Chain A
Amino acid sequence: MANRNSTVYQASTIADVQSILKNISGVSIVAGGTEIVRRQTGRTLHFSPNILPVSRIAELTGVAKTERYIEFGSCITLKSLLELGSKNVPDILYRAVQGIASPGIRSLATLGGNIAAKGQRLCAFAPLLALDARLEIRTPTEAYWIPMARYFSNTGKEQSKEPEFISKIRVPTDAWEISEYRRIGKPGIVTDTTATFAFLVQSQKNVLADIRIAYAGKFFFRRREFENLMIGRSLPLSEKDIDYLMDKADAYFDKNLFPPSYERKCLFNMLEESLSMLV
């Protein structure tokens, strides 16, 4: 809880952040801070006793593009990401970010903050999950890359024993023939029912070459086994194929974790509608 005794640490490089994390325990890293603040309506905002703002560290706000991927510093603001233009950012991610909050908030909120927010998954999560984004994680002593799907868990166990933070987000820039992004819930704001759905399709000579399906709300799902059921099928799909896949989906999207509910119904509706695009 922030009070007069709260300490705000300053870092100007990633090495500074690592050093602070190594030497001081219980430091909370704050990027744009919009998600933390959104949940608080009191006069004073509450943070942990040790705060480390990182949003203005130049190394964390850069962008690098190669032929195969685009790499964002985790503290790139959503506004800066949109300023790169729709040609430089994967279409599905661009559209997702366009729909986030208002321009004022987008100039403060960061991409890293959007995916690292605890609890309800925010709008860039499903597109990045579908795009097979990888995260560079920094601990006080090392840096390593990990697929986003492996770093996060539905049970909130992504916190390792060591303090760590996301420093880079690498997003492959493969071309997708179908790139479908859906958001449910009230536009512009995040509520308990907000969820996002990403659907990507690549085909070669009328054969489904790759398909990605991701959902993020209270829980997130991406099942490679389910996607593999579809890869290699001839296009267009038949109605029979879709019925078969929808039956299979019920088994793959875990009922224990994601019990029958309005959100589950929405996911299945979006899935069916997206698969119908392949008929």
Chain B
Amino acid sequence: MIPFTLNGSEVFIDANPGERLVHVLRRFGLAGTKEGCLSGKCGSCMVLLNGNAVPSCIIPIFQVKNTTIMTIEKFAETDAYADIVEGFRLAGVSMCGFCNTGKILTAHTLLEENIKPTKQDINNWFSGNLCRCTSIDDLYAGVRQAGLLRRKRDHGK
């Protein structure tokens, strides 16, 4: 049995050690994390592992022992999520439902490290996300807009 914290709850899973985290999450009914390339290149299976956005398809389940996983379902309850979605909406970033998990969680991790990212930072951080539904210029604007909303919220506290 492998213990880990999933969306704030202690869980245990009896799984084949070679099972990928993205597939295990489905067993918990968490469908927001999508299966894509299974090689960590597309970002559709992104989750927050100990606060870092990582592709869950390249994480064998035995590696998550005693870690904290947050999926998009739980993240959607946070203010940080609201800022990002609003920032993306204002900038006209399309949200196709397949890549948005990766885009939102990557934007969150980026803004945690750097609240005012440059275009180069955004390019670098989104190098692990494949997205055909939005333009890169909209994405730059969306991430910056989200950063602005987050700054405003942080100052308001």
Contact = CB atoms under 8 A, between A and B. Distances in A.
Nearest to B59: A108
Contacts, number: 96
Interface in B103-157: 106, 109-110, 124-125, 127-129
A43 B20 contact: yes
A33 B109 contact: no
Given A105-B58, A108-B58, A188-B127, A45 B20 contact: yes
Contact of A38 (B18, B40, B62, B127): B40
Contact of A101 (B52, B62, B128): B128
Nearest to B110: A103
A103 B41 contact: no
A139 interface: no
Nearest to A39: B39
B84 interface: no
Contacts of A45: 18-20, 60
A32 to B, nearest CB: 8
Interface SS of chain B: helix, strand, loop or mixed?
mixed
Interface string A28-48: 001001100110011111110
Contact of B124 (A56, A103, A105): A103
Contacts of A51: 17, 62
A145 to B, nearest CB: 29
Given A38-B40, A45-B18, A46-B18, A103 B23 contact: no
Nearest to B20: A45
A8 B40 CA distance: 23
A105 B55 contact: yes
A6 B128 contact: no
Contacts of A47: 17-18, 60
Interface string B61-74: 01101100000000
Contacts of B63: 30, 33, 53, 55
27 contacts: A2-B16, A6-B16, A6-B18, A8-B17, A33-B63, A37-B39, A37-B58, A38-B40, A43-B38, A44-B19, A44-B20, A45-B18, A45-B60, A53-B62, A53-B65, A56-B66, A101-B127, A101-B128, A103-B109, A103-B127, A104-B46, A104-B54, A104-B106, A107-B49, A108-B54, A108-B59, A189-B41
Interface of A: 2-4, 6, 8, 10, 30, 33-34, 37-38, 41-47, 51, 53, 55-56, 79, 101-105, 107-108, 188-189
